[in-house]
């Protein structure tokens, strides 16, 4: 939920002080009622009206992108194309990062507080990946990943959930976001990641109808599940 004055700002009615003033002057109605509290908590379903115009109650943009290979998770780069080039709202930035050669689910948003919350290491948001490996794997790895793999010589990863698909494919769910984590985990096991695709981020699943490079807005239900 967002403060009413913030929603007004996002609807381009002025800066914070102008928007608070509009509310204080009784110029804004929420669901037909004049609201004079600038911190009134707005819900998606609220109908907010200013001068006979309905304002958007959702002031932020939340995008699901199926990231293609070759793009870096940044807004500007001199050398490589950036994921921001693929979407229309250029005020957004990536919620977490995927390597240049990783594909799949990437969230882009302009909601700083959501990114802060979801990226907080203590929140342990689960990220699930589809992994293709160079050398044959066995189901014994389930226990090994649960014990916590050591990477970078002495850094112990948190327990990860390994699900074998076939000799060269598995799902791996991790609750951290260390640099090149999955690649390093398999390297520690004397193996190598050939292809990596993120398919889940917290409660969110990659919409498989999105081809690589395509994106869509999150639905209200998807947004609420992340908040
Ligand atoms: N782990 C990796 O090694 N790379 C990614 O892009 C994400 C997780």
148 contacts 156 by C-beta, under 8 angstroms? yes
- How large a percentage of the chain has pLDDT more than 90? 79
User: Which numbered atom of ligand 1 lies nearest the CA of 101?
Assistant: 6
Examine the domain organization and report whether 110 and 147 are in the same domain. no
Ligand 1 proximity of 183 Cβ (cutoff 6 Å): yes
Ligand 1 proximity of 182 Cβ (cutoff 6 Å): yes
Examine the domain organization and report whether 159 and 177 are in the same domain. yes
Q: How crowded is residue 102: how many other Cβ atoms within 10 Å of its Cβ? A: 22
Ligand 1 proximity of 196 Cβ (cutoff 6 Å): yes
User: Which numbered atom of ligand 1 lies nearest the CA of 98?
Assistant: 6
Side-chain half-sphere of 27: how many Cα atoms within 13 Å?
15
24 contacts 35 by C-beta, under 8 angstroms? no
Domain extent for 222: 60-123+208-227
pLDDT value, residue 1 = 65
Examine the domain organization and report whether 132 and 195 are in the same domain. yes
In this prediction the pTM is 0.85
Query: Per the structure, how many domains does the chain have?
Result: 3
Distance 216 CA to ligand 1 centre (A): 23
What are the tens digits of pLDDT across the range 51-102?
Answer: 999 998 877 889 999 999 999 999 999 999 999 999 988 889 999 999 999 9
Which of 13, 34, 55 is the endpoint of a domain? 55
**Per-residue pLDDT for 44 more than 80?**
no
How far is the CA of 93 from the CAs of 44, 66, 88, 186, in angstroms? 22, 15, 12, 29
CA angle 4, 115, 170 (to 5 degrees): 140
What are the tens digits of pLDDT across the range 90-134?
Answer: 889 999 999 999 999 999 998 887 888 888 888 889 999 999 999
Examine the domain organization and report whether 130 and 197 are in the same domain. yes
Side-chain half-sphere of 194: how many Cα atoms within 13 Å?
8
- How large a percentage of the chain has pLDDT more than 70? 100
CATH number at residue 151: 3.30.70.1560
Examine the domain organization and report whether 140 and 73 are in the same domain. no
Q: Is 101 annotated in the active site?
A: no
CATH number at residue 28: 3.10.290.10
Q: How crowded is residue 112: how many other Cβ atoms within 10 Å of its Cβ? A: 10
Mean pLDDT of 169-196: 97
């Amino acid at each position: 939920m967002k403060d009413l004055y913030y929603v007004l700002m996002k609807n381009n009615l002025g800066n914070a002080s102008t928007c608070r003033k509009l509310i204080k002057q009784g110029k804004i109605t929420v669901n037909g009622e004049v609201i004079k509290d600038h911190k009134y908590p707005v819900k998606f379903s609220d109908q907010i009206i200013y001068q006979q115009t309905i304002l958007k109650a959702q002031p932020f943009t939340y995008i699901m992108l199926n990231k293609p290979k070759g793009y870096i998770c940044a807004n500007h780069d001199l050398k490589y194309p950036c994921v921001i080039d693929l979407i229309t709202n250029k005020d957004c930035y990536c919620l977490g990062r995927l390597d240049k050669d990783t594909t799949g689910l990437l969230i882009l948003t302009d909601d700083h507080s959501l990114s802060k919350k979801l990226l907080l290491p203590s929140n342990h948001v689960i990220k699930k990946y589809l992994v293709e490996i160079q050398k044959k794997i066995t189901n014994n790895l389930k226990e090994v990943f649960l014990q916590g793999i050591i990477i970078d010589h002495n850094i112990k990863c948190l327990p990860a959930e390994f699900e074998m698909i076939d000799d060269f494919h598995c799902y791996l769910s991790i609750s951290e976001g260390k640099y090149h984590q999955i690649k390093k985990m398999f390297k520690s096991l004397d193996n190598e990641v050939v292809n990596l695709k993120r398919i889940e981020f917290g409660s969110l699943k990659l919409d498989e109808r999105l081809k690589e490079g395509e994106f869509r807005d999150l639905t209200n239900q998807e947004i609420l599940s992340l908040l």
